[in-house]
Structure 1
Amino acid sequence: MKYADGPTVTCEVHIRADRARVWALVTDIHLPARLSPELQRVEWIDGAAGPAVGAAFAGYNRHPLLGEWRTVSRVVELHEPRVFGWVVLDQDGRFAGSGPAPDEPMATWRFELEPDVSGTRLRQSVRVGPGRSGVSLAIDRMPDREEEVVAHRLGELRANIDASLRGMKDLAEADGRPAPGNT
């Protein structure tokens, strides 16, 4: 797959907890930093105090090949308690992007929650690009290996998403209460 194709990763998990409990975890932007090896910390910025369409948060990341960098994300989709989505922007121009244009994000992330009789199905997805990112830098250095570079990054993202979803499942199910009727 080529970068221009908008490669995606989608993972899901079933959680024995009601949707309201899972929603609270999904919309806690600080939680993924506890669960992901790449995302180190997150903070609301521009006066935002919580999730709302247009709200912004900064993410501080670390990767063995890229070092450390900051991104700015903007919430673009919020349908409580079903969908939470945001775009990641190269606010600081680290990847020679065109700046914080929401129509050219480095990535687009999304959580979807579906209730069922025994809990909640939680799905997380990411679409890489179309804006430049660390993947673009690797492709610039090795254009003949673009598909390999993209496949490697998708594998990293899948592992990080799986770790985050397992962590959310563990937290949501930790108190041992059965999932009540779902909302």
Structure 2
Amino acid sequence: MAFEILDRSSNRNDEIVGHWALSVKVISVPPQSRGAGVMGLIGKAVGGTALLFGGLFAAGLAVTPDRRAETHQTEKPVPERQPTVIPESWRLADHLSVEVQGKSSRLSSVAVLTFRIQNRSDIHLKDATITCDFFGESGTKLGEAQRIAYREFLAKKTVTVRDMNFGFVHQEAGRVGCKATSAERASPV
């Protein structure tokens, strides 16, 4: 048994799909022309796949360009973008400048750094998060680490933070760049 798809747009009894009318006619195949064994099985699989794709094609014709336009009109409108609110801790960190003064030896893969952190603002800050990026000699970023310096940073003053351990870093790390990424407002002293 095989299937043949006919284009019969003039017949009103067939189901109309879009602007096309499709009908399926069953054709019987004589027994002597049927493949035996594996070839017959492959023929059935190919025929079934063709029938499946034919059905999907017919279903695709059912969505005319007019219906496609309708589906786009029913989508919800995108809400207006709200302005990005920057947390206060990030804005406060902009007042801190971080200078790396000393680092661990190259023989170790543990980063132990000493910093000078300057508070350039008129307000007292505390608990600065220090983020360090580690780079290879070629300039490739090899990793990053964060630690919090639990210290007070008085207004217009510089504080030295010694031997802050940033943990294990890539063994090829030869350069480091650090910055303050957040801080909190300290109570006045």
Q: TM-score range by the shorter chain?
A: under 0.3
Normalising to structure 2: TM-score of the pair? Answer: 0.23
- Name the TM-score, length of structure 1 as normaliser: 0.24
Higher relative contact order (CA 8 A, sep 6+): 1
In our comparison, the structure showing a higher alpha carbon Rg is: 2
